[in-house]
Structure 1
Amino acid sequence: MDGDLMPEPICLVENVNGSLQVNDDATQYLDGISRPVVVVSVVGLYRTGKSYLMNCLAGKQTGFALGSTIESKTKGIWMWCVPHPSKPGHTLVLLDTEGLGDVDKGDSKNDAWIFCLAVLLSSTLVYNSRGTIDNTALEKLHFVTELAEHIKVKSPSAAGQEEEEEEEEDSQFVQFFPNFIWTVRDFILKLETEQQGQVTEDGYLDFALQLKKGQGRKVSEYNLPRQCIRNYFPTRKCFVFPFPASQDNMSRLESLDEGDLYPGFLEATQHFCKYVFTNSQVKTLKGGHQVTGRMFGHLVRVYVETISSGNMPCLENAVVAMAKIENQAAVQEGVKVYQSGMEQVSSSFPVRVDVISAEHQRWSKMATDEFLKRSFNDQHGEYLKTLTEAVNKHYLELVDQNMERSENKCWELLSDLSKDMNEHLQKGQYATPGGYELYCSHRDSIVSQYHLEPNKGVRAEDVLEAFLQKRSVEANGILQADKKITENEKKIKEEREKAALIEQQKKAAEEKKVETERAMQVEKVRHEERLQQMEMKIEEEKRLQVEELDKAMERKLSEQKDLIEKNYKEKAELMGLEIEQLKKEKDQASQGFFKTTFKPLLEVGAEVFSNVLQYKLMRSALKGSPV
């Protein structure tokens, strides 16, 4: 479905009487998207024109319901998936949220959860408002001040640490929250301030977010939403839009041609869309893991079900839940790749040990590659171990099948080659003087023809040894009954028979040894490859985590610099403590734990498997045969 277009928006999260639930049709659609997703959410008061912006981002004039009355048209969260216009191989997921402050709903708690979901799900959050960015507008954005009460970064730990952890988590939001864009609609003021004169749109937002100095409740209430926006979101951007059209046309925006819209509004819209397309990043989970459409569907379900159960969404728990789902699926995909590839080999059984072991190495590596494409956060190697065990189990089953096919083929071949000899035995043709020499001639001919037959597989020498061992009793009886041979010659020939059997036993044992050593060497190489593959995966995850922390520190340092310049000494010092905490996390993330965590686990599994494989290859028990 990656190449399909979603013809129109679909409800992703239904809001029925204040109860949130996931729409299965929407997540089913997302299950078919394996590409990374860039998720843009729009939030804001109802009837502020949010849906129009999302239609523009979708490149469509209609789609998300605009509505032309005072009634809010969007309920819950609606989704529209479209190919990303500037990032090939990516999907743009647009989320239009229910208008906040809907007078018909009158449920601020429900509004808060809609806002939280938009923050949790998006890589870019667009806050849409009308008029100006003043204190009234910021007071209406009180939901941002409640995020710390509704979202946790880490799993709850021991009692008594909650307050300390809340303060610590409050400073960590910047690592995981989306980029923030404030769009101001129907803007009629001049972009200038008394202190700075003419300013840019971003300068206008920064001016509106300036903190007041001083103490007291009023100053604290004034600063809180501003401080949250500054501290929580990694980037801030502002766009102001003039009126789009004449008052008469405002109620039918979706049916207007471009010629009916004011040029200034069109220019602002194009500027906004270009910025979103260029700067909105792929949605990531805590730890820097990129989210695909399929993962996004799981993420929505995890958060909504958590909220519906009365619990608080937790970023860390979401990663664990997502990792479990994805890693289990990654194991299945890896096993499927291996089994599918090895079917080509098993259809050719019997084959030599080096053939099956080489194919095992090739397809086992491809299975691990496939697993690593989808897996993430496999912190203790649990799922890689599960994949390895499943692959090895299937391989050992194939080793048994190959041996069985070889044994059967060899016995069938010897049975066919022995038909004439069996007829001679039944007719008593070897029970005459000179019969032993005739018997040996026929037996040697069978052995020669057997050796000439190709593709007998791994049991060729073992089966021949068993064949000769069984025939040795028969040969000795014919030898002892042959009156043409003297007693002294009989003893010599009897010793020669024993020597020939011993020689065949040595030959079979040597071949098994060589083949086993070859297979064990292949397995040793495969084990080293697997360790390298996992180490590279861990290094990549470590790099993403460090990169995530670097971005957070960069943002915090920028905020600290701004606070120092504006002489907010106390707040700058607190910011410094947050930066130090991020540095500690970065140092911890940079530490290598592969050798102490993963390698021993995989080493033990590899040793057990090698012992089992060696036993299977060296075992000599053969099935009985009618030959």
Structure 2
Amino acid sequence: MEEPLCLVRNGPDGVLRADPAALEVLSGIGQPVVVVAIAGRYRTGKSFLMNRLAQRRSGFPLGHAVQAHTKGIWMWCLPHPRRADTTLVLLDTEGLGDPDKGDSNNDAWIFTLALLLSSTLVYNSSGTIDQQALETLGVVTALTERVRVRAGDSGDTAAADFVRFFPGFVWAVRDFVLELAVNGRLVNEDEYLEHVLRLRPGSSRVVQEQNELRRCLRDFFPNRKCFVLPPPAEPEAMTRLEELDEGQLRPRFLQQADAFCRHIWDTAPVKALPGRVAVTGSMLASLAEKYVEAIGSSGVLCLESAVTALATAENTAAVAAAVAEYRQRMEQELKLPTASQEELGEAHQRCERRALALFMARVFADKEQRYQLQLMSELEAAKEEFCRRNEAASEERSLAVLQELWRDVEQRLDRGEYAVPGGSRRFQEHLKELRENYHRRPGLGVKAAAVLEKFLQGHEVLVRALCAADQQLSELEKERVASEAAAAAAAEAMRAMEARQEEQRRSLEEHKRQLEEQLCRQQGVMLEEQERVIEHKMREKEALQQEGFEHEAEALGEQIRRLQEEKEEMKKPSWRQRALDGLGTAAKVVLSGLAQAALWKFQKMLWP
């Protein structure tokens, strides 16, 4: 993108709408995205800081009047300056507290969208982190009224799980001119932030409200960072920052701004869903659209519902991509007709293994393996299509060879060579030579015997007539001649059916193997995430105890106990086995229809 686009428009009526042009840009990005959003009071220089992250002097409009310039949420997609195959998405949001707007509810939704879409949220304020700056962040305490992790959750339950969904938090304090000192002791920026977020003693309503905000910030954002930046230039030059060269900006500001940018570039993670599912640009577009729709329809965002809807679209696309990969590789590997069904089956196994691996790398939230079963069914159907094409190619090739070899027999018939005593014997010898020459021909494929039998059945009247005219042939020999080709065709059909049954068995084993590997990885990720949440809660509990808030620490201890119980359940292998058993049971149902069709076809071949 050469310049930013508006991602979420904030209409005059206060209704938020996702912009189709911006969604289309995002939908075209298949790479993982690092999403950095900035929020804060209006006219505090958010856009200038975002332009520096973009390494551009202009881009997001700065505005120099007291009136707010940015409306809604603006987006800029750029190649990530530090990571290959990753896109940096910058989101600049409408300023909080704009007096011209007068709608705190609208402010809260803009902030909530920035929070949920980003992997790192930058909160921008000016001067110091004082009570006014904290009060502007009061929208955080209202999140429990607007956001649910799961439908039906209470506000308290949702808040306890927010840490799994929320981004990293960076507080950028602009135009900071004071000394970094607390109680006469010099501190660094992070210590300064943690001091500000300490709970205040007292039981008044005002103190309780102030502490509630501090608790939310500490609980929702375990990864916190602070940067203080002095004014970038002299006051008279602040209205033309876009025009200033680097040499005209204050060295201390440049030093701090560079440190801020390096931190974001080096540490801001790829946007991820629970389970470390990396979000691509197209997935981010879907989330943005679904979040805005939920705001307009119900006024409550359910994160699990949005993820489920996203998973439906992404998993459907994963199935389609895996099947397309399978078909493409089969086309490249196979030269039809194959010499045997086993040869086609081996190619199928190789291509299926690759397609399944691609699917497993993309699929997420596939409860009860619904999409894996769909993939299994579609791959089996695609394999059967290749089998039909293989058989058709074999039939065409085999018939062409038979017609070529039969010409010699026809010429002898025309000359009357078989209409003499002993002619039937000579005919049988020539027929034997024809079969031997036929089987020596390469590339006949899996239907060679069946085509030969059908071909001979087409000339059965001639064969019987010649045999009847020649009394030298015994009745047993006549029966042998009549049944030899049919027996060969039946044996060939039996081998083909057994080969396909073996292919299905191996396919199911491969699906179960890759599913088990994925489940093991998911279990490890879930345990790590759970342990991270527990450690964060324990640190907060210790901090509350040190600050003298025993009641709050006790409540947090109950959360920790519940999380530890959940962790012990996650460790059990039984849930993995249930998934594997469920896949095996469902797969038998999915594949039984195809197996029955193959059996019917085989029986028809044996007993037409």
> In the alignment, which of 2, 23, 47 is matched to residue 43 of structure 2?
47
> Offset of 1:598 from its aligned partner?
4.0
For residues 267 and 578 of structure 1, the distance between their equivalents in structure 2, rounded to whole angstroms, comes to 42
1:535 aligned to 2:535?
A: no
For residues 567 and 244 of structure 1, the distance between their equivalents in structure 2, rounded to whole angstroms, comes to 41
Partner of 1:478: 466
1:174 aligned to 2:170?
A: no
> Offset of 1:50 from its aligned partner?
0.5
For residues 61 and 305 of structure 1, the distance between their equivalents in structure 2, rounded to whole angstroms, comes to 34
Q: Is the Cα–Cα contact under 8 Å of residues 334 and 370 in structure 1 kept in the other structure?
A: yes
Q: Is the Cα–Cα contact under 8 Å of residues 55 and 61 in structure 1 kept in the other structure?
A: yes
Partner of 1:3: none
1:193 aligned to 2:182?
A: yes
Partner of 1:265: 253
> In the alignment, which of 8, 21, 24 is matched to residue 20 of structure 2?
24
> In the alignment, which of 56, 60, 82 is matched to residue 56 of structure 2?
60
Partner of 1:36: 32
Kindly provide the CA deviation profile for residues 234-260 of structure 1, in whole angstroms up to 9, marking residues without a partner as x.
Answer: 222211111111011011112111111
1:450 aligned to 2:438?
A: yes
Partner of 1:70: 66
- Distance verdict in 2 for CA 1:88–1:467, change over 3 Å: closer
Q: Is the Cα–Cα contact under 8 Å of residues 40 and 122 in structure 1 kept in the other structure?
A: yes
AA of the residue aligned to 2:164: Q
> Offset of 1:330 from its aligned partner?
0.4
For residues 127 and 229 of structure 1, the distance between their equivalents in structure 2, rounded to whole angstroms, comes to 12
SS state at 2:396 partner: helix
1:439 aligned to 2:421?
A: no
> In the alignment, which of 390, 400, 406 is matched to residue 412 of structure 1?
400
> Offset of 1:506 from its aligned partner?
3.8
For residues 429 and 193 of structure 1, the distance between their equivalents in structure 2, rounded to whole angstroms, comes to 118
1:597 aligned to 2:579?
A: yes
**RMSD (Å), alpha carbons:** 2.3
Kindly provide the CA deviation profile for residues 54-80 of structure 1, in whole angstroms up to 9, marking residues without a partner as x.
Answer: 111111121111111112111111111
Partner of 2:557: 576
Q: Is the Cα–Cα contact under 8 Å of residues 520 and 610 in structure 1 kept in the other structure?
A: no
AA of the residue aligned to 2:331: E
SS state at 2:142 partner: helix
Partner of 1:318: 306
For residues 603 and 391 of structure 2, the distance between their equivalents in structure 1, rounded to whole angstroms, comes to 11
Question: Which range moved further: 388-397 or 523-532?
Answer: 523-532
> Offset of 1:176 from its aligned partner?
1.5
AA of the residue aligned to 2:8: V
Partner of 2:93: 97
> In the alignment, which of 390, 400, 407 is matched to residue 388 of structure 2?
400
Partner of 1:154: 150
For residues 169 and 451 of structure 2, the distance between their equivalents in structure 1, rounded to whole angstroms, comes to 74
For residues 88 and 617 of structure 1, the distance between their equivalents in structure 2, rounded to whole angstroms, comes to 53
AA of the residue aligned to 2:559: E
Q: Deviation above 6 Å: which 4+ runs of structure 1? A: none
Partner of 2:172: 183
AA of the residue aligned to 1:152: R
AA of the residue aligned to 1:611: A
> In the alignment, which of 213, 232, 237 is matched to residue 249 of structure 1?
237
AA of the residue aligned to 1:80: W
Partner of 2:340: 352
For residues 550 and 74 of structure 1, the distance between their equivalents in structure 2, rounded to whole angstroms, comes to 40
Partner of 1:230: 218
Q: Is the Cα–Cα contact under 8 Å of residues 286 and 315 in structure 1 kept in the other structure?
A: no
> Offset of 1:47 from its aligned partner?
0.3
Q: Is the Cα–Cα contact under 8 Å of residues 520 and 614 in structure 1 kept in the other structure?
A: no
1:377 aligned to 2:365?
A: yes
Question: Which range moved further: 173-182 or 606-615?
Answer: 606-615
For residues 583 and 536 of structure 2, the distance between their equivalents in structure 1, rounded to whole angstroms, comes to 39
Question: Which range moved further: 375-384 or 455-464?
Answer: 455-464
> Offset of 1:324 from its aligned partner?
0.6
AA of the residue aligned to 1:621: M
AA of the residue aligned to 2:19: N
Partner of 2:117: 121
1:508 aligned to 2:504?
A: no
1:363 aligned to 2:351?
A: yes
For residues 82 and 535 of structure 2, the distance between their equivalents in structure 1, rounded to whole angstroms, comes to 26
What does 1:198-237 correspond to in 2, within 5 Å? Answer: 198-237=186-225
> Offset of 1:185 from its aligned partner?
0.9
AA of the residue aligned to 2:52: C
- Distance verdict in 2 for CA 1:150–1:77, change over 3 Å: same
Q: Is the Cα–Cα contact under 8 Å of residues 331 and 387 in structure 1 kept in the other structure?
A: yes
AA of the residue aligned to 1:86: R
AA of the residue aligned to 1:615: L
Kindly provide the CA deviation profile for residues 434-478 of structure 1, in whole angstroms up to 9, marking residues without a partner as x.
Answer: 322332233223222212211111111222233445545423322
Kindly provide the CA deviation profile for residues 401-444 of structure 1, in whole angstroms up to 9, marking residues without a partner as x.
Answer: 32233233323322232223234435544222232233223322
What does 1:415-430 correspond to in 2, within 5 Å? Answer: 415-426=403-414, 428-430=416-418
Structure 2: any 5+ residue segments left out of the alignment? none
Partner of 2:605: 621
For residues 293 and 589 of structure 1, the distance between their equivalents in structure 2, rounded to whole angstroms, comes to 31
- Distance verdict in 2 for CA 1:96–1:516, change over 3 Å: same
For residues 146 and 155 of structure 2, the distance between their equivalents in structure 1, rounded to whole angstroms, comes to 11
Identity fraction in percent: 40
SS state at 1:413 partner: helix
> Offset of 1:295 from its aligned partner?
0.9
For residues 475 and 168 of structure 1, the distance between their equivalents in structure 2, rounded to whole angstroms, comes to 85
1:9 aligned to 2:4?
A: yes
Partner of 1:556: 537
Question: Which range moved further: 337-346 or 454-463?
Answer: 337-346
For residues 130 and 148 of structure 2, the distance between their equivalents in structure 1, rounded to whole angstroms, comes to 29
For residues 191 and 559 of structure 1, the distance between their equivalents in structure 2, rounded to whole angstroms, comes to 24
Kindly provide the CA deviation profile for residues 63-104 of structure 1, in whole angstroms up to 9, marking residues without a partner as x.
Answer: 111111112111111111222222333222111001111122
For residues 339 and 568 of structure 2, the distance between their equivalents in structure 1, rounded to whole angstroms, comes to 52
Partner of 1:334: 322
What does 1:130-149 correspond to in 2, within 5 Å? Answer: 130-149=126-145
AA of the residue aligned to 1:320: T
Count of matched residue pairs: 604
Q: Is the Cα–Cα contact under 8 Å of residues 512 and 583 in structure 2 kept in the other structure?
A: no
SS state at 1:171 partner: helix
Structure 1: any 5+ residue segments left out of the alignment? 1-5, 157-161
Partner of 1:388: 376
For residues 178 and 226 of structure 2, the distance between their equivalents in structure 1, rounded to whole angstroms, comes to 15
For residues 479 and 509 of structure 1, the distance between their equivalents in structure 2, rounded to whole angstroms, comes to 24
- Distance verdict in 2 for CA 1:347–1:609, change over 3 Å: farther
AA of the residue aligned to 2:595: N
For residues 205 and 518 of structure 2, the distance between their equivalents in structure 1, rounded to whole angstroms, comes to 50
For residues 95 and 300 of structure 2, the distance between their equivalents in structure 1, rounded to whole angstroms, comes to 22
Q: Is the Cα–Cα contact under 8 Å of residues 326 and 375 in structure 1 kept in the other structure?
A: yes
Partner of 1:159: none
Q: Is the Cα–Cα contact under 8 Å of residues 407 and 622 in structure 1 kept in the other structure?
A: no
